[in-house]
Amino acid sequence: MSEPAPKLVPSAFASLMTVAGLTWTRLLRGRALVVAVVIALLPIAYCAFAGPRVGPELFVFELLTASVLAPMFVAASIGEEIEDRTTTYLWSRPVPRWTIIAGKLVALVPVVTAVVLGSWIVANQIAWKMMPDERTMAALAIGVAALSILSAGVASLAPRHGMALSIVYILFFDSPLGVLPATIRELSMTQQIRAVSGIWSGNGELKTPLIVLAILCAIWGLIAAARIRRLEA
């Protein structure tokens, strides 16, 4: 029997985009977007209720919303694949496993960002009748990406409870860490996101929080990639 001609293996980029497309299609046909919009309405409702009393805490509410939405989309998406064993389809294909996580992030981060930014813009309009400044918008967009990567890392460590643990980690560990009166708070993602926004944290400088965020994202990204590589179906 002669050796058959070698068959093409898809490029990492092609695999990543295919996974992103798959994630998108599923997202649009599910109810996750509706649920996300309902959650994103909370800060808007707060503005409508609190009226002129609204202060910088609005940004924290928006960050909290992102802290629930990022795990709901990213961690749950990864966890569901593993729990439902649909990973057997993905992992039996000739694709590097990190592309599956990256593909999900490519598909989901823009969705969560759009929902959170939409909520932020509307809330600002209601509270102060003005567009939010670019820096807060950038901080939320970067924050969503960072929290999504963190969720992917947590989900790869504990797939069954990835969503719950991501929320708990962000809100009960990362956030309190960020308000500690010590240097260790610099390890907090939420603290760095607030520093990027220029609200309540940081000294207005942008470079350091961005670098720290990039490092934290790289660490969580590497954890996710390394862990997913070793996971068995």
* Piece of the chain touching another protein by CB under 8 A; list 86-94, 145-153, 191-199, 207-215: 86-94
Sort residue 205 into left (φ over 0), alpha (ψ -120 to 50) or beta.
beta
* Piece of the chain touching another protein by CB under 8 A; list 23-31, 127-135, 136-144, 179-187: 23-31
Give the integer Cα–Cα distance in Å for 179 and 185.
6
Residue from the set 76, 78, 112, 212 that interacts with another protein by CB under 8 A: 76
Give the integer Cα–Cα distance in Å for 196 and 210.
7
Number of residues that bind another protein (CB under 8 A): 65
Q: Which of 102, 122, 105, 12 is nearest to 61 (CA)?
A: 122
52 binds another protein (CB under 8 A): no
24 binds another protein (CB under 8 A): no
Residue from the set 48, 107, 108, 172 that interacts with another protein by CB under 8 A: 172
179 binds another protein (CB under 8 A): no
Query: Which amino acid is residue 164, in one-letter code?
Result: A
Nearer to another protein, 9 or 218 (CB): 9
**How distant, in Å, are the alpha carbons of 107, 143, 173, 194, 196 from that of 210?**
23, 10, 20, 11, 7
* Piece of the chain touching another protein by CB under 8 A; list 37-45, 109-117, 134-142, 188-196: 37-45
Give the integer Cα–Cα distance in Å for 49 and 43.
10
Residue from the set 37, 131, 133, 160 that interacts with another protein by CB under 8 A: 160
138 CB-side CA count, 13 A: 11
Query: Which amino acid is residue 145, in one-letter code?
Result: A
| Residue 63 neighbours by CB under 8 Å, 6+ apart | 140, 143, 190, 193, 194
158 binds another protein (CB under 8 A): yes
Tell me how far, at minimum, the Cβ of 207 lies from another protein, in Å.
31
Q: Which residues bind another protein (CB under 8 A)?
A: 1, 3-4, 7-10, 14-15, 18-19, 21-22, 25-26, 29-32, 35-36, 38-39, 42-43, 46, 49-50, 53, 57, 60-61, 64-65, 67-69, 71-72, 76, 80, 84-86, 88-96, 158, 160-161, 163-165, 167-168, 171-172, 232-233
